[in-house]
Amino acid sequence: MDNIEAQTEEIIALQSIFEEKEFLIEGMNPICGRYIAEVLLPNPFYVVSKRGLGTNGAESENSKESTVDEHLQLEHLPPINLFFEFPSTYPSDTCPAFLLSCNWLTLDQITLLCKQLENLWVESFNEVILFRWIQFLKEEVLGFLNITDTLDVTELTKYSVRSAFTCQSVSCNKTNGKNMCSDESKMNVNNQMDGDYVVGKKCSGFQNIQPSVHGGSGSIDNRAILDLHDGKVLKARLKDFEAFKKMEVFQNSWQFCNICFADKKGSDCTVFKSCNHFFCNECIKSYFEVQIKEGNIYSLNCLEGKCSSQADGTMVKKIVSSELFERYDSLLLSRTLENMSDIAYCPRQKCQCPLLLDTCGRMGACPACKFVFCSFCKMAYHGVAPCNFKSGQKRQIFDEYMNADAARKAELEKSYGRKAMKSLVEDCLSDSWISSNSKNCPHCQSVIEKTEGCNKMTCFRCGSYFCWLCLKLLKMSNPYLHYQDRSSQCYDQLFPEEYLDDAFEIEPGEFLNL
């Protein structure tokens, strides 16, 4: 079997074993491609970074003492990317040309992996090697690097491309005795990610760097690529990949919905991010539709009992129809503007355009209809003159003033004028007293105040007799019959109980018969 046949059979066999998303062929002449190796991790597995402490407690790189800065427990790490290309002499005489990239291993560690791939080829000389390389990258990397259940990324968190490189030549390996060259294109071989995480370009598309059979003469292998521009973002990338993989696992497995009590595919369910509770899309959609139609946009909360998590706009847009989302978006904007003290709406019913008040918060100028109005009384702007009370609003303003704190009272006095507010308060208090202590004559509606005496009243204006208790007009010939009639609700109630003196006791009805 010649080399071409061996290469073709190897690729066909690997394509039957692995999915296209992890094993991708990007060219056939020569054969080149990539493998996305997701390393199997023990459980539990931790990622830690440390910082040195100086004598004054400040961070110091030279300090011998150190403390753990952050402690992450992960189930997944971003993949190690193997880019390969078959020379015409593979597998008879030459191993595949390759590049190896990773963002959570140092260049020294990636270099060790490159050397080990070479050693594995030497051990199986003249045989196809890709499956063995893949097996090593997935299952044996941690053991080979003496990483048990904890990965220390302290050195990587201090790394940056600009500080690492000192020359511009791709072939140069003199980089402070540690790194490769200053060409950032090599560091960015994997700058495009499938789903933000799976990275790589076609082998023929590399700029200034190609998969190589040889690693060069420097301390860092030319085929080792650190896919990290700034160590400060490493932890964020690890957390993002962890969340991405957990969601991928969730979507590809069956989940039980606690609303409809049915098993649904994870891809047909939605997770509330803040609480991680999930339900099928059909149940959430039905609930959201009812709430949005009724205008309860702040009630789009998690369906789990006593959970206060709220759905965000992205989640709502994914679940409901575009028409219903437009209503939700409009209501949300309207409610948000209402809660902003410097935002008002044009008081004209046919306009209602939102606008920004002036710096004093007193005047509003509608950009749509050009109406300039007072933000307090909503009437045409009247400058420093006090606002006029609208009909039917006096009681509302009085209640607000009486229940307000000192700052709000001062604001109302500024809006309507101090004298006007004083007069309003006095009038409302007078009206309240009159309402509580007087009644209207049932014949002429004159206001009658009762200070003492019996419940048989005589109107000062029309002379009619009426009952203070039930406001019924009484007979002019004998008004007291109303209190003698046993069928009357005011029977035997001519005098209030508090009016009767205990020292002057009379039998019921006795006074009426005198």
Catalytic residue positions? 454
Query: Which of 35, 19, 24 is CA-nearest to residue 83?
Result: 35
CA distance 50 to 151: 11
Backbone dihedral region for residue 208 (phi beyond 0: left; psi -120 to 50: alpha; all else: beta): left
CB atoms under 10 Å from CB of 474, counted, come to: 19
Helix or strand or coil: residue 194?
A: strand
CA distance 188 to 211: 14
CA distance 493 to 469: 9
**Residue ranges with strand state E in 180-309:** 193-194, 198-199, 224-226, 254-257, 262-265, 269-271, 278-280
Kindly list the distances between the CA atom of residue 474 and the CA atoms of 24, 437, 460, 490, 493, in Å, as whole numbers in the listed order: 104, 21, 15, 12, 14
**Residues 239, 197 contacting (CB under 8 angstroms):** no
My answer on whether omega of the bond before 79 falls inside 30° of 0, hence cis, is no
CA distance 323 to 332: 14
Beta bridge mates, 380: 373
Query: CB-based contacts of 186: which residues, under 8 Å, 6+ apart?
Result: 170, 180, 208, 209, 225
Which ranges constitute the DSSP H helices of 124-171?
A: 130-139, 141-144, 154-157, 161-164
Query: Which of 142, 131, 125 is CA-nearest to residue 84?
Result: 131
CA distance 428 to 318: 53
**Residue ranges with strand state E in 258-389:** 262-265, 269-271, 278-280, 343-345, 354-356, 363-365, 372-374
Query: Which of 302, 350, 296, 292 is CA-nearest to residue 326?
Result: 292
